[in-house]
Amino acid sequence: MNPASPIDEPVYDHALDLAGVDEGISRVPLQAPHKRLWLAGFAVAFLGVCSLFSGVAWLLFRGIGTWGIDIPVAWGFAIVNFVWWIGIGHAGTFISAFLLLLHQSWRTSINRFTEAMTLFAVACAALFPLLHLGRPQYFYWLLPYPDTMGLWPQFRSPLVWDVFAVSTYFMVSLVFWYAGLLPDLATMRDRAGPRWKRRAYGLLALGWRGDARHWVHYERMYVVLAGLATPLVISVHSIVGLDFAAAQLPGWHSTIFPPYFVGGAIFSGFAMVLTLVIPLRKVYRLEGFITDRHLDLMAKVMMTTGWVVAYGYFAEAFTAWWSRDQFEMFSQTNRLLGPYARFFWIMLICNVGVPQLLWCARLRRNVPFLFVASLLVNLGMWLERYVIVVTSLHRDFMPSSWGWYRGTRVDWAVFVGTLGLFLALLFLFVRLLPAISMTEMKMLVTRKGKVQ
């Protein structure tokens, strides 16, 4: 095999030693380079947060009618954004848990960051199911608690499954992420200069000493958690897929949805990781940890999952045609040719067209191109959910009830708002915590040469 093939290529800069790793990674939170740039970025993100608050305030004050939804299109932006954000979250868990089990050492440089991404994405996603309620003040009626009227949630409804899936997903991701952080928090405690910083990190580190008795349990727990998170990540988006598949609406009622949604989730997640990691490693000069090889591998995963999605589109259309069911067939043609067809075609270009360019190795190494491609895929995946939700609903069984949908200013304010919230949280994370797992990097460095 030719020696230049990426497989032999290291997943980090071999000039690094233990001290180098700590220095390279912990300087970002501890010395906070590029203060101005960071502040500027955070300010922009914060504007988004303001838009979120104003949008939500208006929504709660005036009511759900401030959104574009109507009858028949009773779901709109909220559900689109919810599915989109959850999907983005999935890449994090996939990278940190799935690839860990597969002993993909290249995950080490990015898993911490992507786990954080997961947490924040899920946080954004979790907003929407609450906000999209007609009476958000009663969201807790979806939880099983001893109600004075003796009522319980209706456990056959996929929306109740959602509640459990999303909350579980958030908590498990949090546990997994924090567990991974523990040793690094100790490192930060021991490296931090000012006393208050040492205290802060020390408190978070809970007194981690790197004792063999810690490690022996720690490693077992970490592996089992990974083993749990892997099926979890698959189940979560399958359940989100079931929100649609369980309904009998043409365009929703399709058995392909769960796997196709999981594929799409990982697809969009990896796109988002690329979108975030490319500027990050540039600004903070982390190329030594996040090498071009990482980008290359992520591009490959994106391409593969892109095909899963493409198959999903095909399978939907095919089953519709195969069923000869006039409603199913109509909803497909309506997608291709109806009033919302342009969204469908843009989606197809972004999700099926663009990834094909990644066959070309040179493009996979072309960082600016990857950045643009990842943005396009993000857009495409948002449009995919828009197409699924809106085009299926706006023309269903009864022509007399056909309608239309368009998002309002409030819809956009809230969506843009969640983008702002997501970025703001990421900025804080990069500024306060090690964005790459120092412990695991050090393990890698000492195993120099034993990689692969």
Residues 174-233 that bind another protein (CB under 8 A): 175-176, 178-179, 183, 186-187, 189-191, 202-203, 206-221, 224-225, 228-229, 231-232
Q: Is 237 in the site for another protein (CB under 8 A)?
A: no
Asked if the bond preceding 158 is cis, omega within 30° of 0, the reply is no
Site for another protein in 14-53 (CB under 8 A): 17-19, 22
Q: Is 341 in the site for another protein (CB under 8 A)?
A: no
Site for another protein in 316-335 (CB under 8 A): 326-327, 330
Could you give the C-alpha distances from 229 to 91, 176, 219, 221, 445, in angstroms and in order?
12, 8, 15, 12, 27
Could you give the C-alpha distances from 451 to 14, 100, 105, 289, 297, in angstroms and in order?
11, 14, 7, 14, 16
Q: 177 with 115: CB under 8 angstroms? A: yes
From the CB of 269, what's the least distance to another protein, in Å?
19
CA angle 71, 74, 77 (to 5 degrees): 135
From the CB of 347, what's the least distance to another protein, in Å?
21
Site for another protein in 84-123 (CB under 8 A): none
Q: Is 235 in the site for another protein (CB under 8 A)?
A: yes
Query: Which residue in the set 14, 37, 63, 336 belongs to the binding site for another protein (CB under 8 A)?
Result: 63
From the CB of 416, what's the least distance to another protein, in Å?
22
From the CB of 128, what's the least distance to another protein, in Å?
12
**Choice between 202 and 420, CB closer to another protein:** 202
Could you give the C-alpha distances from 373 to 266, 353, 370, 392, 432, in angstroms and in order?
15, 10, 5, 28, 30
Site for another protein in 428-447 (CB under 8 A): 439-440, 442-443, 446
Part of the chain binding another protein (CB under 8 A), chosen from 37-45, 259-267, 362-370, 397-405? 397-405
Could you give the C-alpha distances from 237 to 242, 261, 286, 309, 413, in angstroms and in order?
8, 6, 32, 14, 26
Q: Is 153 in the site for another protein (CB under 8 A)?
A: yes
From the CB of 142, what's the least distance to another protein, in Å?
5
Give me the amino acid identity at 84. W
Q: Is 148 in the site for another protein (CB under 8 A)?
A: no
Q: Is 415 in the site for another protein (CB under 8 A)?
A: no
Query: Which residue in the set 6, 47, 160, 352 belongs to the binding site for another protein (CB under 8 A)?
Result: 160
Q: 48 with 417: CB under 8 angstroms? A: yes
Non-local (6+) Cβ contacts of 103 within 8 A are: none
247 to 286: interface string for another protein, x by CB under 8 A: xxx-------------------------------------
CA 158 to chain centre: 21
